[in-house]
Amino acid sequence: MTISDYASLLVDAGEYSGREDIAHNFPRFLGLAELKLNRGLRVADMEVTDEIALIDGDGTLPADFLEAREVKTAAGIPIRAISLQQLTNSYMDRSGTAPIGYAIVGSTIKARPISDQDLTVTYYGRIPALTPSNPTNWLLE
């Protein structure tokens, strides 16, 4: 039994379940499985490196961002994750030549001291969702 794409996955799930009366729910089950995998799975194929532009020390994280692995300044110097409270208390509105710490707030990365430098972020990205228009991904392969 080879699962090569979205359609064959749904067919195999139907055969495995032995119930044709719930086939209409299989896309939903697949979505729930993807959510669970994105919460717990952390493997090399999920790692992505991207540049994030900062404006007044804040940058927008990529849409597929799950968790940071490493954050570096434009000079390639790693900066550390610290709590938002510590970031706020320690740096308030101070600006500097390069950030030394960051915190993630929703879909924003806040780097302090405030800088407009780009950051290089290596992070775990979401597993690309399987759909009829995107029938395969690295996990299925």
Query: pLDDT tens for residues 22-39?
Result: 888 888 989 999 999 999
- Asked whether the predicted pLDDT for residue 1 surpasses 70, the reply is no
CB contact at 8 A, 126 and 61: no
Rounded to 5 degrees, φ, ψ at 86 are -65, -40
Q: How crowded is residue 40: how many other Cβ atoms within 10 Å of its Cβ?
A: 6
Would you state the pLDDT for residue 26? 86
Over range 102-128, report the average pLDDT.
95
Q: In angstroms, rounded to a whole number, what is the distance separating the alpha carbons of residues 93 and 99?
A: 12
Measured at the alpha carbon of residue 97, what is the angle toward residues 80 and 52, in degrees to the nearest 5? 60
Domain ranges in the chain are 6-41, 45-125
Q: Which residue has the higher pLDDT, 1 or 86?
A: 86
pLDDT above 70 covers a percentage of the chain that reads: 99
Which 3 state secondary structure label does DSSP give 22?
helix
Q: In angstroms, rounded to a whole number, what is the distance separating the alpha carbons of residues 125 and 58?
A: 20
Over range 40-59, report the average pLDDT.
96
Residues 70-85 pLDDT 10s: 999 999 999 999 999 9
pLDDT above 90 covers a percentage of the chain that reads: 65
Residue of 73, 103, 71, 66 lying closest to 88 (CA atoms): 103
Indicate the pTM of the whole model. 0.85
